[in-house]
Amino acid sequence: MSKPTKEAMQAALHIIKKSTLGSVVKVFGSVVTCNSHIQRCVNSSEVKAEDVAGSAATREVLFHRHLLQGVGFGEHMAIVFADNRGCVLVAKDPAKRLIPAWPTQL
């Protein structure tokens, strides 16, 4: 195999860096939607990738919440779970998005 050029390696790394996001939406304990796909954007950190995934999951949850309200199920609290401490930190304090380096102890 020949040695790849710098441009070829950069293109390959760009593709590899894309994160896979996934979500499962449950309504009254039953799964109504689940999806998994590669993000359209390349993120510079895992926290940013998790933030994008959390935003997509929240949009999906809000869609189902509004759909249920439209058919008369009334107001119900929606809960979104995330499995990344950095993402949870950003959700609790959105100003943390502006900090370039994350603390080592969360």
In a domain, 57, yes or no: yes
- Is 106 inside any structural domain? no
Residue 46 inside a domain? The answer is: yes
User: What tokens were used for 79?
Assistant: 């809960």
Taking the C-alpha atoms of residue 61 and residue 24, their distance in angstroms, rounded to an integer, is 9
Domain that holds residue 65: 6-98
Stretches in the chain below the pLDDT threshold 70 = 1, 12-19, 39-46, 87, 96-106
pLDDT at residue 78, as a whole number: 84
Q: Does 63 fall in a domain?
A: yes
Count the domains in the chain: 1
